[in-house]
Amino acid sequence: MTSHFPFDNSYARLPDRFYARIAPTPVAEPALIRVNRDLALHLRLDPDWLASPEGVAVLAGARVPEGAEPIAMAYAGHQFGQFVPQLGDGRAILLGEVIDRDGQRRDIHLKGSGRTPFSRRGDGRAALGPVLREYIVSEAMAAFGIPTTRALAAVTTGEAVMRETLLPGAVLTRVASSHIRVGTFQFFAARGDEEALRLLADHVIARHYPQLADGDRPYHALLEQVTARQAALVAQWMLVGFIHGVMNTDNTSISGETIDYGPCAFMDAYHPGTVFSSIDHAGRYAYANQPKIAQWNLTRLAETLLPLFSQDQDTAIAEAQDILRGFAEKFEKAFHGGLRRKLGLFTEREEDIDLARELLAAMSEAKADFTLTFRHLVKAAAGPEGNEALRKLFATNPAAFDDWIASWRKRLSQEPQDAATRQEMMRKVNPAFIPRNHRIEAVISAAVERHDFAPFEELLTVLSKPYDDQPDFAHYAEPPQPHERVLQTFCGT
Ligand code: AMP
Ligand code: MG
């Protein structure tokens, strides 16, 4: 058997207590939905082979490829604030790691690949809908330029999974810089296993933060870097109206990638309190709570690192608090910088953030569409004749909005660029297309009810160039009609 994956499995070289060795459970009738050809090439994999019957057998977990060392990773986590000392990959398996064309190590991971010792009462499987949702949203995030796990392939299994009803089963092949989570650190901290914590921290530093290895306080620097990446990540989510939906510590990646797309969603109408997830009753993971929650999750990470910081607990706590305090500033810098650019302000003035806040307040009051508002600002930036589409979004209070536009224009006049350059720069930070919930639902219905994957393909094509106008697909930029509105999203597990 020739090797089609040049695997090098560093995580499987860690001690046994980091994972359970287990092969995927074969499925009845694997059939390919899609291979992400560009990503495959970037990973030095052969997309044609992946799409062949042999490749599809691997993607469905029916066949373990040469060089793979399949494992289910152990982790713990706080779920909605409650600590669960053992979660782990209950329906996923890490096949192994490859080095991509940029020299980056990437996990090849099957989601929906059968039961593992961490499955608890779950069936180890995934339904087609959530697999398509994760494929679409993770690839859209990548196209925005936001750190994220990727989708290499999706297959159907030919088996049904039981959720509220019987649904077609599927497996997603997920690619990540690693699947190490805040919860992975918590798993060992909860067991008082300091040796494992140190091994894990060293592994993470070598893999994600190699520049820290030779510093004098590498574990402090690690917390600082993870904090910086989380702050930057959440700021980027907020700037495209993304709501993760389950920011539990087991869904918080140490590499700073967006991971675990469950009930995630993009806002249509702007409101800071927006929640879609059916299980988030208290709105813990609402849009505007995300920075606060990220900091809470980082505090849980910091707690696990205390023994590596100092023998003296008080010293360790003080040092950790110092680092965590930096979160707010890092987040604000990234978020405010992003808001400025979205407004077409590429120089900095103190009043800019108030200007942005006033716009957000007006949007919230008018229930203006988040994405369209900013995209229409690009048009409006050409001059007053471009205002019309934008004004329509604020029909409930046009007079107040005209005041805002006037202040904005005054501020724009202090910018050095000509209008065309400014618009070009604004277009690159204000997407025309986002994976709108109603579009995702339509894709899922077509696939589940009619076995029609054409809408899935078309949506992926549109979202691969979110910043381009794409006049042929202009309807994909539109918010839902009232009857199309999706009010709730589900984990789908
Ligand atoms: P998630 O909600 O996807 O972040 O998963 C939380 C935990 O539940 C993880 O330990 C998962 O592995 C586990 N889990 C979710 N769905 C299933 C399933 N269908 N079968 C087994 N375990 C699952
Ligand atoms: Mg998870």
Q: Would you say residue 261 lies in a domain?
A: yes
For 23, the domain range is 11-179
pLDDT tens digits for the chain (493 residues)? 467 999 999 999 999 999 999 999 999 999 999 999 999 999 999 999 999 999 999 999 999 999 999 999 999 999 999 999 999 999 999 999 999 999 999 999 999 999 999 999 999 999 999 999 999 999 999 999 999 999 999 999 999 999 999 999 999 999 999 999 999 999 999 999 999 999 999 999 999 999 999 999 999 999 999 999 999 999 999 999 999 999 999 999 999 999 999 999 999 999 999 999 999 999 999 999 999 999 999 999 999 999 999 999 999 999 999 999 999 999 999 999 999 999 999 999 999 999 999 999 999 999 999 999 999 999 999 999 889 999 999 998 888 899 999 999 999 999 999 999 999 999 999 999 999 999 999 999 999 999 999 999 999 999 999 999 999 999 999 999 999 999 888 876 5
Q: Does the model's pTM come out above 0.95? A: yes
As a whole number of angstroms, the distance between CA 473 and CA 65 comes to 40
Residues 216 and 155 in one domain: no
**Most informative mutation of 19, 89, 91 for ligand 1 (most atoms within 8 A of CB):** 91
Judge if 330 and 192 occupy the same domain.
yes
Q: Are residues 228 and 318 in the same domain?
A: yes
- Decide if 294 is inside a domain: yes
Distance 250 CA to ligand 2 centre (A): 6
The alpha carbon of 79 and the centre of ligand 2 are apart by a number of angstroms equal to 10
169 and 255 belong to one structural domain: no
Q: Are residues 96 and 240 in the same domain?
A: no
Ligand index nearest the alpha carbon of residue 493:
1
Which of 336, 351, 377 marks a domain boundary? 336
Please tell me the residue having the least CA distance from ligand 1 atom 15: 493
Domain boundary among 142, 158, 179: 179
The shares of helix, strand and coil residues in the chain, as percent rounded to the nearest 5, are 50, 15, 40
One domain for residues 131 and 168: yes
Residues 147 and 196 both lie in one domain: no
Residue 250 is a catalytic residue: yes
- Residue 406: CB atoms within 10 A of its CB come to 11
* 165 and 259 housed in the same domain: no
CB-CB contact of 491 with 246 (8 Å)? yes
Residues 149 and 111 in one domain: yes
Domain end among 283, 301, 336: 336
- 3-state SS, residue 160: strand
In a domain, 197, yes or no: yes
Sign of the alpha-carbon torsion through 210, 212, 218, 223: negative
Distance CA 400, CA 288 (A): 24
CB 50 within 8 A of CB 76: no
Maximal C-alpha separation, the chain:
71
- Residue 430 is assigned to a structural domain of this protein: no
Rounded to the nearest 5°, which phi and psi values hold at 183? -65, -25
